[in-house]
Structure 1
Amino acid sequence: MQVRLLPTSEQAAALAATLSACNEAATWVSRVAFDEKVKKNFPLRKLVYGEVKARWALGAQAAQHVIKKTCDAYATLKANLEAGNLGQPGSKRYRKATEKPIAFRPEGAQPYDDRMLSWQITEGRVSVWTVCGRLKGVAFAASAEQLATLALYRKGESDLVCRDGMWFLLATCEVPEAPPNTGPVDFLGVDLGVVNIATTSDGEIMAGRELSRIRNRERELRTKLKKKNTPSAKRRLKKRRRKETRRARDINHKIAKHVVAEAERTGRGIALEDLTGIRERVRLAKPQRATHSSWSFAQLGSFIAYKARRAGVPVVYVDAAYTSRTCAECGHIDRANRVSQAWFACRSCGFVDHADRNGSRNIRARAWELWRCGASSTVPAPRPRWRGGVGRKRSITASDARCASRGSIVPGG
């Protein structure tokens, strides 16, 4: 739960000094861990705990969180290296990540536990530890829904974050899941696209051409700023990039919330395309590449997944192959069926429909067939914070194998 703090100028200065001191200490701890090749929490604590407290005037809990944050960063780095996310051993990216210790930004987030941070939710204030002493009565802003969630479900650490001069607390809340719907009456198909971000099998288009015009205008402005290549142009580029990221995240949240609410209201499940590796499979002309890669469909899918899990709505991923060329009425597959980006006209039966709606109906039909074959919901479980362990894997069942010809079952439900 993201809560915005409203500190005074003196309180903001104390918070900034705290983040700077904690991250400077974390960078020093990281250097010691790299040089001594000690990256586990308790062995590293024996080496650096005393000096971290004395040198940066950190409290006992803050010093332990600094050491733990450093160990978690190295655990995450190790996981990325093993997964191949940073290239092959010997590559430039791999060497850049492994040949020097991890450094922390001065404004990097700092975790707080209940000994360092206390909430007065009804008063809308928090008491937070800083290197300048404990700040009592720091105001925060939150909606009524956020306040209720904090009061009922807050549990564990909270992260202090400074973003664009604004202060936030990211509080961990353990919200119980609704009982899963094991007998959906049907599925709500969702077709994801470049022009229309999401189109449902009910015919509803979300984030369509108006958003496309905004994205095109933003892309043209980015191109002009890149050509200038001046310090002020670079600052504006950075600012606009953050703005576009926030806009895309907000739109993805709204789409996911609407889709899940509609499926929950009508007793249906949600059918999505399995777009894993789509950027490697699809070949596009150069002018189309920026548009194709400029939207985070993976983020949208993850938002739908966790909101559906919270609401108890089943989600099934299907194979996206030929969904845009298949007639939703007669099943005829032909490349010529797709007349244009917007329209579909079947060469066999003459059925005419919006192309994205036709594709979403095919997705819905494939999900329903998979469900009747015995497939279960493939909503992935929420990933825990990395602690060096190995994630649990689900085996493929016989019913999954029988249905593999028409769709893909994504492990993890």
Structure 2
Amino acid sequence: MKLVVQIRLLPTPMQAAALEATLRACNEAATWAGEVAFEKGVRRNFALREHTYSQIKTRWGLGAQAAQHVIKKTCDAYATLAANLRAGNLGRPGSKRYRKATGKPIAFRRQSAQPYDDRMLSWRIGRRRVSIWTTAGRLKDVAFTASVEQLATLARFRKGESDLVVRDGMWFLNATCEVPQAPLNTDPVDFLGVDLGIVNIATTSDGEIMAGRQMNRDRVRERALRTKLQKRKTPSAKRRLKKRRGKEARRARDINHKIAKRVVAEAERTGRGIALEDLTGIRERVRFRKPQRATHSSWSFAQLGAFIDYKARKAGVPVVYVDPAYTSRTCAECGHIDRANRVSQAWFACRSCGFVDHADRNSSRNIRARAWELWRRGAPSTAPAPLPRQRGGAGRKRRITASDARCASPLF
């Protein structure tokens, strides 16, 4: 399986200037190649190379490998655009958004990432140095920093291209690694159910709550501070906003990694599989009132699911996705389904058998039971396929009322 290891470069001021000039030249050349591809209707690599290769080398001073990567990057961008158009992600044909996407050539930011292959980039991992090509010549002694685990992964599994990236004045190399997968455990003893929610981000069927109320208080405080700074519109407020930009996204990514690591480690230790909710299209199927939208949409559950999925594949742990409908209203003991079973956000009390449990744990137990039943029927260990886009009345969103929202810790 392919993994990307991100390392941070520590260039000197002169090296950073050379890297910046290289990115600028490559992206200006890619933008020009995009214009040529748009005007001539040529979107394939070898065909576009005939029209642009020699001009890119002479006009921007790029080497042969860099020029080829620039052309390939342009063609890949057009291929991605075509895929989004086919999937309907940019609206229907003839819509304003569709016309805007197709009516102009693709352009690249001056600091867009640039791919490097082994002819343009060489690693000295033991010394933590890289030799990298630039328009000002080859920089043979650029320092980088990485953790011990990242260095070991780079040394053993690095294969393929690496992307040069700059973000907020910091330079990174995203190196592609081919990491072998462990053999899949085809005979799990049980499944570890994971319930995803708004108040408690993840709750397992063992009763462990990960990232609960304290984290949500931090999120609310961060959101309030950001709103306050946006309203002030002073130079100092804008500087603080720029400094804090992406902080919540980075925190969410870090927490998602930690949750995924704990879930997979527990499942691997106990010989179980992992049961997850299939939340594909949740934002299209459900509509919240305005005060609830920020809370509902500010956490990336798809990212968490992706982290669990790739860590599980690496460890050989099977993952089964189940339909989450009514898991928060179903009794994990007797199977009775009733909306009144959900007494509050935190507690579940069955109206039939009297079973009482934490509501999120009860939901995760239902998810575990559904996954176990699906696995016994031969369900594969794989991520769910995306739902087809619906049109007309079938695609309308369902409004969640205030009474629904009071019991909406899990997403269902």
Q: Are 2:323 and 1:312 equivalent residues in the alignment?
A: no
Q: Are 2:249 and 1:257 equivalent residues in the alignment?
A: no
TM-score (norm 2): 0.90
- C-alpha distance in 2 between matches for 1:59 and 1:358: 61
Q: What do residues 350-389 of structure 1 show as CA deviations (whole Å, max 9, x unaligned)?
A: 11111111100110011111111222212479xxxxxxxx
Where relative contact order (Cα < 8 A, 6+ residues apart) is larger, the structure is: 2
Q: Secondary structure at the match of 1:196?
A: coil
Between the two proteins, the alignment pairs up a number of residues equal to: 381
1:358 to 349, 357, 362: 362
Query: In structure 2, what is the equivalent of residue 160 of structure 1?
Result: 164
Query: In structure 2, what is the equivalent of residue 333 of structure 1?
Result: 337
Deviation (angstroms), 1:212:
0.4
1:125 to 107, 125, 129: 129
Deviation (angstroms), 1:282:
2.3
Q: What do residues 312-338 of structure 1 show as CA deviations (whole Å, max 9, x unaligned)?
A: 110011110110011111111111111
Query: In structure 1, what is the equivalent of residue 116 of structure 2?
Result: 112
Q: Secondary structure at the match of 2:322?
A: strand
Give the letter aligned to residue 36 of structure 2. V
Q: Are 2:32 and 1:28 equivalent residues in the alignment?
A: yes
Kindly indicate whether the alpha-carbon contact (under 8 Å) linking 1:308 and 1:379 is maintained by their aligned counterparts in 2. no
Query: In structure 2, what is the equivalent of residue 94 of structure 1?
Result: 98
Query: In structure 2, what is the equivalent of residue 374 of structure 1?
Result: 378
1:148 to 146, 152, 171: 152
Q: Secondary structure at the match of 1:366?
A: helix
Q: Are 2:71 and 1:71 equivalent residues in the alignment?
A: no
Q: Are 2:86 and 1:82 equivalent residues in the alignment?
A: yes
Q: Are 2:168 and 1:174 equivalent residues in the alignment?
A: no
Q: Using a 3 Å threshold, how does the CA distance of structure 1 residues 152 and 81 change in structure 2: closer, same or farther?
A: same
Kindly indicate whether the alpha-carbon contact (under 8 Å) linking 2:321 and 2:384 is maintained by their aligned counterparts in 1. no
Kindly indicate whether the alpha-carbon contact (under 8 Å) linking 1:305 and 1:380 is maintained by their aligned counterparts in 2. no
Query: In structure 2, what is the equivalent of residue 405 of structure 1?
Result: none
- C-alpha distance in 2 between matches for 1:34 and 1:106: 19
TM-score (norm 1): 0.90
- C-alpha distance in 2 between matches for 1:249 and 1:306: 15
Deviation (angstroms), 1:137:
1.2
Overall identity of the aligned pairs, in %: 82
- C-alpha distance in 2 between matches for 1:91 and 1:237: 35
Deviation (angstroms), 1:239:
4.2
Deviation (angstroms), 1:71:
0.5
- C-alpha distance in 2 between matches for 1:148 and 1:374: 37
Tell me which moved more, 282-291 or 109-118: 282-291
Query: In structure 2, what is the equivalent of residue 406 of structure 1?
Result: none
Q: What do residues 12-37 of structure 1 show as CA deviations (whole Å, max 9, x unaligned)?
A: 11111110110111111111111111
Q: Using a 3 Å threshold, how does the CA distance of structure 1 residues 238 and 322 change in structure 2: closer, same or farther?
A: farther
Query: In structure 1, what is the equivalent of residue 41 of structure 2?
Result: 37
Kindly indicate whether the alpha-carbon contact (under 8 Å) linking 1:309 and 1:379 is maintained by their aligned counterparts in 2. no
Q: Secondary structure at the match of 2:353?
A: coil
Q: Are 2:207 and 1:203 equivalent residues in the alignment?
A: yes
2:11 to 7, 11, 18: 7
Pairing 1:372-411 to 2, within 5 Å after superposition: 372-379=376-383
- C-alpha distance in 2 between matches for 1:147 and 1:289: 41
Give the letter aligned to residue 353 of structure 2. C
Kindly indicate whether the alpha-carbon contact (under 8 Å) linking 2:278 and 2:384 is maintained by their aligned counterparts in 1. no
- C-alpha distance in 1 between matches for 2:361 and 2:208: 8
Kindly indicate whether the alpha-carbon contact (under 8 Å) linking 2:276 and 2:322 is maintained by their aligned counterparts in 1. yes
Kindly indicate whether the alpha-carbon contact (under 8 Å) linking 1:314 and 1:379 is maintained by their aligned counterparts in 2. no
Give the letter aligned to residue 200 of structure 1. T
Deviation (angstroms), 1:224:
2.1
Deviation (angstroms), 1:290:
1.1
RMSD: 1.4
Q: Using a 3 Å threshold, how does the CA distance of structure 1 residues 229 and 84 change in structure 2: closer, same or farther?
A: farther
- C-alpha distance in 1 between matches for 2:289 and 2:384: 34
Give the letter aligned to residue 229 of structure 2. L
Kindly indicate whether the alpha-carbon contact (under 8 Å) linking 2:8 and 2:171 is maintained by their aligned counterparts in 1. yes
Query: In structure 2, what is the equivalent of residue 276 of structure 1?
Result: 280
Q: Are 2:326 and 1:322 equivalent residues in the alignment?
A: yes
Q: Secondary structure at the match of 2:136?
A: coil
- C-alpha distance in 2 between matches for 1:244 and 1:238: 13
- C-alpha distance in 2 between matches for 1:118 and 1:133: 14
Q: What do residues 26-75 of structure 1 show as CA deviations (whole Å, max 9, x unaligned)?
A: 11111111111111111111111111001111111001101110000000
Q: Secondary structure at the match of 1:271?
A: strand
Tell me which moved more, 225-234 or 40-49: 225-234
Give the letter aligned to residue 76 of structure 2. D
Q: Are 2:182 and 1:189 equivalent residues in the alignment?
A: no
Regions of 4+ moved over 6 Å: none
Kindly indicate whether the alpha-carbon contact (under 8 Å) linking 2:275 and 2:371 is maintained by their aligned counterparts in 1. yes
- C-alpha distance in 1 between matches for 2:35 and 2:13: 33
